[in-house]
Amino acid sequence: MAPDVFDRETMLDLSVNVIPLFIILFFIVLFAAVAPFGYSLVDTTIQMALLVIPFIGLAILTYFSGKAIAEAEAKMEERGDLAHAENDTPGAHAGESTPDAPDAPDATEGDAESAVETRSTSDQD
């Protein structure tokens, strides 16, 4: 893992997938320790494989997607337009990069009010 790609912020983003990984891990440990139906070579192997395979699959996909996204972001940062990251409308100009800040809602609100008026006169029903 290149530490510069997986910085703190990326790790935080990836944490959303760490939770299901953790749940699966929990059950792997649980089923290894407690086996009310006993152990049998074939069935227990299948049982574990059913948990381990999705675990590995999810870990791999999370790693590569996280890497691809973080690298793309780093490139944008070099070009000096990180503002575009986290924005779901790539073409539009983004105000800031914090995802949870309301973006100038007032500008749209005025429009909406007037829109209601124009619409009610031009309504056809």
Partner 1 sequence: MDLSGQLALTVLMGVFLVGVAVLLTRVEDWRSYTPLASGGVYGDETGHAVQHKPSGITRWLTTVDHKDIGMLYGAYAIIAFVWGGLAVLIMRTELADPAATLIEAGFYNGLLTSHGITMLFLFGTPIIAAFSNYFVPLLIGADDMAFPRINAIAFWLLPPGALLIWAGFLIPGMAPSQTSWTMYTPLSIEQTHAATDLMLLGLHLTGVSATMGAINFIATIFTERGDDVNWANLDIFSWTILTQSGLILFAFPLLGSALIMLLLDRNFGTTFFTVDGGSPILWQHLFWFFGHPEVYILVLPPMGIVSYVLPKFSGRKLFGFKFVVYSTLAIGVLSFGVWAHHMFSTGIDPRVRASFMAVSMAIAIPSAVKTFNWITTMWNGKIRLTTPMLFCIGFVSNFIIGGVTGVFLAAIPIDLVLHDTYYVVGHFHYIVMGAIAFAGFAGLYYWYPIFTGKMYQRTLAKAHFWLWMVGTNLTFLAMLLLGYEGMPRRYATYTFDAGIVNLDVITALHQVATLGAFLIAFGTIVWVFNFVQSWYEGPDVGEDPWGLEDSTLYGREFEWHRNRLRTAVADGGEEDVVTDGGNEE
7 binds partner 1 (CB under 8 A): no
Q: 87: closest CA among 75, 107, 73, 67?
A: 73
User: Could you give the string, one character per residue 59-98, with x where binding to partner 1 holds by CB under 8 A and - elsewhere?
Assistant: --xx--xx-xxxxxx-xx-------xxxxxxxxxxxx---
CB of 86 to partner 1, least distance (A): 5
Q: Residues 103, 95: contact at Cβ < 8 Å? A: yes
* Residue choice 4, 33, 78, 122 for contact with partner 1 (CB under 8 A): 122
Q: Is the Cβ of residue 6 or residue 31 nearer to partner 1 in the bound state? A: 31
CA atoms of 12 and 52, how far apart (whole Å)? 24
Q: With binding defined as CB under 8 A, does residue 5 bind partner 1?
A: no
Per-residue binder mask for partner 1 (CB under 8 A), 21-60, x = binder: x-xx--x---x---x-x--x--xx-xxx-xx-xx--xx--
Cα separation, 105 vs 61, whole angstroms: 36
20 binds partner 1 (CB under 8 A): yes
Residue whose C-alpha is closest to residue 10's, from 79, 120, 85, 121: 85
Query: How far is residue 12's CA from residue 8's CA, in Å, rounded to a whole number?
Result: 6
